[in-house]
Amino acid sequence: MSIKLGDTFPNFAVKTTYGDLKLHDWFQDSWGILFSHPADFTPVCTTELARVVQLKDEFAKRNCKVIALSCDSVESHLKWTTDIRAYAHSDDREFPYPIIADEDREIAVDLQMIDPDEKNADGLPLTARAVFIIDPKKKMRLSLLYPATTGRNFDEILRVLDSLQLCDKYKVATPADWQKGDEVMVQPSVSPEECKASFPCITIVALPSGENYVRKTAIPE
């Protein structure tokens, strides 16, 4: 299976720590993030899931529901969540998001997120650290794939989510290293006339080509 940006994300039926679910039913009308992990009770994975626990309110502010995946059993996941909550210094009585059990690696293979260079004790390839952002229309808007040995930066994932939501609302794009609240750039497809009407305060950056394609503006109110 090859999922490209803009494709409808598969509505997998999954076994999770929240019971049997279908992905689209879990995400409902929210934005969604599916992120995968090599294995339970491993150091980097524990730091990552703990970071998502700490950021649960930030995802909620953005109308985004998260779900994790690892190639271990539901029973193993449930035991692991005690360690994750402890590492996150969380007092929550319930773990704030579900973890998918993908013991047969069916989803990992379907989504092409196997790391061939990292194997478990039985010699089976580990799931790589994948991230998929899905919009409320169930379209895949972003995919990232990290090797099993490299932990992700979830502040960057929030930054990307902010950019996607902003650029869906306005005809803007976000430049390199953009952070929420920074100036944005008017999309090249916006005509000069439309630009004046929609973005009354713009700065055109002078470049050697003489082309006025770098048009900066504050986030529209």
Task: Look at domain 7-152 and name its CATH class.
Answer: alpha beta
Q: Is the pLDDT of residue 180 over 60?
A: yes
Locate CATH 3.40.30.10 in the chain: 7-152
Locate CATH 3.30.1020.10 in the chain: 170-217
- 64 is an active site residue: no
CATH of 170-217, one of 3.40.1180.10, 3.30.1020.10, 1.10.300.10, 3.40.640.10: 3.30.1020.10
Residue indicated by tokens 């909620």:
60
Tell me the pLDDT of the chain averaged across its residues: 91
Residue of 45, 64, 71, 195 marked catalytic: 45
Amino acid at 32: G
Contact 67, 33 (CB under 8 A): yes
Residue indicated by tokens 């009308």:
29
Helix (H) or strand (E) holding 210: none
Residue indicated by tokens 């930054």:
159
Q: What is the per-residue pLDDT across 63-85, written as a single tens digit (0 to 9) for each?
A: 999 999 998 999 999 999 999 99
Q: Which of 111-125, 155-169, 176-190 has the lowest mean pLDDT?
A: 111-125
Q: Which of 21-30, 72-81, 190-199 has the lowest mean pLDDT?
A: 190-199
Q: What is the pLDDT, as a whole number, of residue 104?
A: 84
Q: What is the pLDDT, as a whole number, of residue 118?
A: 64
| Strands (E) located in the chain | 13-16, 19-22, 31-37, 64-70, 99-101, 114-119, 125-127, 129-134, 140-146, 172-173, 184-186, 202-204, 215-217
Backbone angles phi, psi at 123, to 5 degrees: 85, 10
Contact 117, 104 (CB under 8 A): no
